[in-house]
């Protein structure tokens, strides 16, 4: 079997520090990736719920080949926005001018 190709996932460039130090930056990056994974899980659950409501019985291929229509896409976008708003509330608040 051919060797599996792996692609690079980190870009070459200056190591910039944004907040107090690298570790604080790293934690914020990790929080955002976790938020992304929560969103992925929620969308998967949403797919399953939609399929169940329509078909009653489903299999793994049904889930993997599911494509949300525009209406469902918009609903999901709206829900992601609420998730982001919750997670990023402290940052939004800090930028609110009095």
Which positions lie near another protein, rule CB under 8 A?
A: 2, 5-14, 16, 18-20, 25, 28-29, 32-33, 35-37, 39-40, 43-44, 47, 63-70, 73, 76-77, 80-81, 84-85, 88, 91-92, 94-98
Shortest spacing between CB 57 and another protein, in angstroms: 18
What token pair was written down for 34? 């976790």
SS3 content of the chain, % helix, strand, coil (to 5): 65, 0, 35
| DSSP label of 6 | -
Shortest spacing between CB 59 and another protein, in angstroms: 13
62 neighbors 51 (Cβ within 8 angstroms): yes
Shortest spacing between CB 53 and another protein, in angstroms: 17
CB atoms within 10 A of CB 94: 7
68 neighbors 47 (Cβ within 8 angstroms): yes
Q: Which is nearer to another protein, 57 or 70 (CB)?
A: 70
Q: Which is nearer to another protein, 16 or 53 (CB)?
A: 16
């Amino acid at each position: 079997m051919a060797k599996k190709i792996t692609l690079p996932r980190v870009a070459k460039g200056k190591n910039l520090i944004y907040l107090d130090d690298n570790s604080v930056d790293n934690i914020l990056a990790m929080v955002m990736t976790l938020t992304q994974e929560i969103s992925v899980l929620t969308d998967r659950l949403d797919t399953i719920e939609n399929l169940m409501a329509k078909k009653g019985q489903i299999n793994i291929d049904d889930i993997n080949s599911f494509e949300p229509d525009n209406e469902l896409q918009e609903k999901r976008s709206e829900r992601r926005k609420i998730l982001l708003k919750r997670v990023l509330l402290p940052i939004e608040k800090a930028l609110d001018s009095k």
